[in-house]
A and B are shown apart, each in its own frame.
Chain A
């Protein structure tokens, strides 16, 4: 696999309508989500509101509800939806032959 992407595992390791994390030493975890339609997204695991772990929220449609105060965060853009304002950095993801790859550069930023 090329050096720009990190192969983090099989798509099937992420529960549908759920998420898993990638632990980043010295920084925020990356939360990797899988929607009911089987799409995979990754965000910094940190709500723009009070830094709740988005990976622990309920995934519905294309959004996740933060477990701390129920902010809804878009999985594709990281933007807070509805009345709330704020944004969580997104991490580019691609799927290759059933494997999930996340962008190395964005992951490094999470560690910075």
Chain B
């Protein structure tokens, strides 16, 4: 902006030189002036040709809510009035600590008694081809905002790389300015450093509702364009057109100047509690420093740092002890707040409140009766209250039960007993908002005999939809009945008050599409579920949305994620499919070769008429599969909650007792049903005559051939509790046997609970129910069959072949190898 002559006359005061005219540098000077305005002669060097402005308000400027003048903190008069020399637009490029001088790019040299480095941070530019094209910018200073405003005037498409705080604010501003905005975020969750999965999902929904395209889990391959930016290409090949690309993937402390000067630098410039660097004459403050191993990218820690810095400069040291930070997203109409540590862990207790109808998610993390973190979405009114309790480390044990409802509720005297609070409600107070049920109606329904939560849900419908009033209904049950409350059916797991059937029904009824959506709409009490509910939800969604739902690998048990069976020593066993138990020399040779090539210590014939290769290392699995694929074999799914084997006897082709071609039918059934995911493992057998050599009457679906046709049996099990099958019906033709089989599998897939085999399922629903649905209801049976075959059109894609070609490589390869004697090797695999 302007070059003010630097005072060099007979001023004998110590000279404080400040490198950085940003928020930290100026705040530090302000703090110093407040303590002792005359003590130092002050010179400030700034890289930008401007006075000091509030960088965090760039977003509102971009959004058109503020102008540059609105966000100036200190105008030119302030510098003049305080006798501060400002050198703006001529950055310092070198520090000579021995001579105690700094040199600018323009060649000016200035000596100092104390030097303050406040260089802030630099945007991180991801090293992809095209990053230097005109039209590719960061979002860091006013120049960037000016570039964005010019681009917005021309209209068109913009891509923002990075779905963190800064990226989303840039996207919001550009979107308001009329550009069509796509946000590319590498992680599956937006703002994953501040938000958990649940809140990130809500945010994504809201932004998409405003017309932005949000691509999560998207990895930028290159920025394309001829002379100027024209688009962004992702690693999956997608090309997104763009006339402007904003990189907002993160910031790095700006330490080059300090490092060149030989100061101690870690992630940032290392400072003590008084913001003094390894050189006592040099101080540093703000985003460029590392204090006690921490670097900060937010504004709040700055104020504390500057306070202790100024105390030290006037020789009344106090000391900085680190900061707890909180974040708010500055996107109007979307309220997001996060503070502290929300990663959970030992001794941490999550208190979660979800209100699907209002789009609210609140999570408070408590450890040892103290709040350690909070994530709020949709209703952030209590953010500052939680943050205050967190910073003060206040004991919240007395507030525990009502904490999540917020300050006004929790502090509302005498309300510490939730039961008393419920008792105090009037009869016409609404308990269940979804179904409009009052307290009086719930109590009268309990009085009429609904003595369990489930019974209440079944009669007056309270708590039957979203479940957020479950606690209230339970309190009413306890108040009305005392100890006579009956336990309801088992809930799915500790994360929810709903049972499997309820969850499933709601997934279908509300057309839910993802695990975070289910958790939000059904008020899960944990942020990301547990190892019981996640695999179940993944299956229910997969079953409800064939071809549409994207399988969540991290919600699968290891065997299904690795497509092999883990053994107790950590190696895997591999079972290729042998259709109907048949094999041939090519397959046997390939198996023998694999056994030798990979030194498999054991091969075993399984009970399901195939071969199991033991002792394969995780890293070798893709190569093993490639070899087996080459001989025409595919995954046997011996590891899955899925179709396992179709066991057969030799049947009429060879056996003198055989009545039908049981082997041929077995092969056809296996070809029809392989690859389908189920609630649990599923075994089929086909016997050629009632001697039943294939043991069809202890299988999930068994066929016993007789002269006049095919007997169909269901619900058998040979495990801990041996259960012989129930006879479903008898059919005349092979085609009917196959059609009934498909319909039965689909009924099981749609209605059994996750991890429920057919035997306990049939005991629960009754074989008559299954007969009614499969044998007696022709239209229903055909519809079930059609749904099964439709789902199969997406699932019969050999997972081994995909992996052998390199899919999900990171599941198999180690990230790095370490040999103590030889040192360390980092392999560049699947970055």
What residues of chain A have their CB less than 8 Å away from a CB belonging to chain B? 6-10, 12-18, 20-26, 29-30, 32, 35-39, 45, 50-53, 56-63, 65, 67-68, 70, 72, 74-77, 79, 81, 96-98, 100, 107-108, 111
B814 pairs with A58, CB closer than 8 A: no
Q: Give the chain A neighbours of B527 by CB distance below 8 A.
A: 36, 61
Q: Give the chain A neighbours of B558 by CB distance below 8 A.
A: 56-58, 67
In the docked arrangement, what's the CA distance between A15 and B344, Å? 19
A97 pairs with B818, CB closer than 8 A: no
Q: Give the chain B neighbours of A36 by CB distance below 8 A.
A: 189, 192, 196-197, 527-528
Which B320-350 residues sit within 8 Å CB-CB of chain A?
342-346, 348, 350
A18 pairs with B553, CB closer than 8 A: yes
Known contacts A36-B527, A37-B192; A53 and B818 CB within 8 A of each other:
no
B346 pairs with A79, CB closer than 8 A: yes
| The residue from B342, B556, B831 contacting A13, defined by CB atoms under 8 A apart | B831
Q: Give the chain B neighbours of A9 by CB distance below 8 A.
A: 815-816, 826, 831
A12 pairs with B186, CB closer than 8 A: yes
A12 pairs with B826, CB closer than 8 A: no
B820 at the interface (CB under 8 A from A): yes
Q: Give the chain A neighbours of B348 by CB distance below 8 A.
A: 62
In the docked arrangement, what's the CA distance between A76 and B556, Å? 23
Which 4 residue pairs of A and B lie closest in terms of their CB atoms, listed nearest first?
A62-B345, A65-B531, A17-B554, A25-B819
| The residue from A21, A37, A67, A108 contacting B557, defined by CB atoms under 8 A apart | A67
Known contacts A18-B554, A111-B820; A7 and B826 CB within 8 A of each other:
yes
Q: Give the chain B neighbours of A51 by CB distance below 8 A.
A: 568, 570
B49 at the interface (CB under 8 A from A): no
In the docked arrangement, what's the CA distance between A14 and B831, Å? 9
B736 at the interface (CB under 8 A from A): no
Known contacts A9-B826, A18-B554, A67-B557; A25 and B817 CB within 8 A of each other:
yes
A25 pairs with B530, CB closer than 8 A: no
Show 18 A/B contacts (Cβ-Cβ < 8 Å), sorted by A: A6-B818, A6-B824, A13-B815, A15-B810, A18-B554, A20-B810, A20-B815, A36-B192, A37-B193, A37-B196, A56-B566, A58-B555, A62-B344, A62-B346, A77-B346, A97-B124, A97-B252, A111-B818
Q: Smallest CB-CB separation from A59: which chain B residue?
A: B554
Q: Give the chain A neighbours of B252 by CB distance below 8 A.
A: 97
Q: Smallest CB-CB separation from B562: which chain A residue?
A: A56
**6 other A-B residue contacts (CB within 8 Å) besides A17-B528, A56-B558:** A6-B824, A25-B819, A36-B197, A37-B196, A57-B558, A111-B818
How many whole Å from B56's CB to the nearest CB in chain A?
22
Q: Give the chain A neighbours of B193 by CB distance below 8 A.
A: 37-38
B566 pairs with A21, CB closer than 8 A: no
B481 at the interface (CB under 8 A from A): no
| The residue from A29, A52, A67, A74 contacting B345, defined by CB atoms under 8 A apart | A74
Q: Give the chain A neighbours of B562 by CB distance below 8 A.
A: 56
How many whole Å from B210's CB to the nearest CB in chain A?
25
How many whole Å from A73's CB to the nearest CB in chain B?
11
B346 pairs with A58, CB closer than 8 A: no
A58 pairs with B534, CB closer than 8 A: yes
B441 at the interface (CB under 8 A from A): no
| The residue from B188, B526, B829 contacting A16, defined by CB atoms under 8 A apart | B188
In the docked arrangement, what's the CA distance between A77 and B360, Å? 32
Q: Give the chain A neighbours of B526 by CB distance below 8 A.
A: 60-61
Which B786-819 residues sit within 8 Å CB-CB of chain A?
810, 814-819
Q: Give the chain B neighbours of A100 by CB distance below 8 A.
A: 815
A24 pairs with B818, CB closer than 8 A: yes
Q: Give the chain B neighbours of A75 by CB distance below 8 A.
A: 345
In the docked arrangement, what's the CA distance between A37 and B191, Å? 9
In the docked arrangement, what's the CA distance between A98 and B250, Å? 10
In the docked arrangement, what's the CA distance between A96 and B531, Å? 30
Q: Give the chain A neighbours of B534 by CB distance below 8 A.
A: 58, 60
| The residue from B344, B555, B568, B816 contacting A61, defined by CB atoms under 8 A apart | B344
B177 at the interface (CB under 8 A from A): no
B535 at the interface (CB under 8 A from A): yes
Q: Give the chain B neighbours of A81 by CB distance below 8 A.
A: 346
B267 pairs with A97, CB closer than 8 A: yes
Q: Give the chain A neighbours of B815 by CB distance below 8 A.
A: 8-9, 13-14, 20-22, 32, 100
B345 pairs with A61, CB closer than 8 A: yes
B818 pairs with A107, CB closer than 8 A: yes
B449 at the interface (CB under 8 A from A): no
In the docked arrangement, what's the CA distance between A90 and B763, Å? 46
B529 at the interface (CB under 8 A from A): yes
In the docked arrangement, what's the CA distance between A63 and B344, Å? 9
How many whole Å from B123's CB to the nearest CB in chain A?
13
In the docked arrangement, what's the CA distance between A110 and B130, Å? 43
B187 pairs with A16, CB closer than 8 A: yes
How many whole Å from A65's CB to the nearest CB in chain B?
4
B766 at the interface (CB under 8 A from A): no
In the docked arrangement, what's the CA distance between A57 and B814, Å? 15
The interface centre, meaning the residue of B534, B535, B816 with most chain A CB atoms within 10 A of its CB, is B816
In the docked arrangement, what's the CA distance between A8 and B810, Å? 14
A13 pairs with B192, CB closer than 8 A: no
In the docked arrangement, what's the CA distance between A79 and B526, Å? 20
B831 pairs with A37, CB closer than 8 A: no
How many whole Å from B640's CB to the nearest CB in chain A?
14
Q: Give the chain A neighbours of B189 by CB distance below 8 A.
A: 16, 36, 38
In the docked arrangement, what's the CA distance between A98 and B267, Å? 11
A53 pairs with B814, CB closer than 8 A: no
Q: Give the chain A neighbours of B342 by CB distance below 8 A.
A: 37
Q: Give the chain A neighbours of B570 by CB distance below 8 A.
A: 45, 51-53, 56
Known contacts A13-B810, A20-B815, A36-B196; A70 and B343 CB within 8 A of each other:
no
B830 at the interface (CB under 8 A from A): yes
Which B340-379 residues sit within 8 Å CB-CB of chain A?
342-346, 348, 350
Q: Smallest CB-CB separation from A67: which chain B residue?
A: B558
Q: Give the chain B neighbours of A10 by CB distance below 8 A.
A: 831
The interface centre, meaning the residue of A18, A36, A60, A70 with most chain B CB atoms within 10 A of its CB, is A36
A23 pairs with B831, CB closer than 8 A: no
How many whole Å from B297's CB to the nearest CB in chain A?
13
A62 pairs with B188, CB closer than 8 A: no
B343 pairs with A37, CB closer than 8 A: yes
In the docked arrangement, what's the CA distance between A63 and B343, Å? 10
Known contacts A9-B831, A15-B553, A61-B526; A67 and B566 CB within 8 A of each other:
yes
How many whole Å from B248's CB to the nearest CB in chain A?
15
B346 pairs with A22, CB closer than 8 A: no
Q: Smallest CB-CB separation from B194: which chain A residue?
A: A37
How many whole Å from B616's CB to the nearest CB in chain A?
14
Q: Give the chain A neighbours of B531 by CB distance below 8 A.
A: 57-58, 60, 65, 70, 72
Q: Smallest CB-CB separation from A96: which chain B residue?
A: B267
Q: Smallest CB-CB separation from B808: which chain A residue?
A: A15
B830 pairs with A13, CB closer than 8 A: yes
Which B180-227 residues sit within 8 Å CB-CB of chain A?
186-189, 192-193, 196-197
Known contacts A15-B810, A26-B820, A37-B196; A58 and B831 CB within 8 A of each other:
no
B554 pairs with A16, CB closer than 8 A: yes
How many whole Å from B310's CB to the nearest CB in chain A?
30
In the docked arrangement, what's the CA distance between A32 and B535, Å? 22
Q: Give the chain A neighbours of B820 by CB distance below 8 A.
A: 24-26, 108, 111
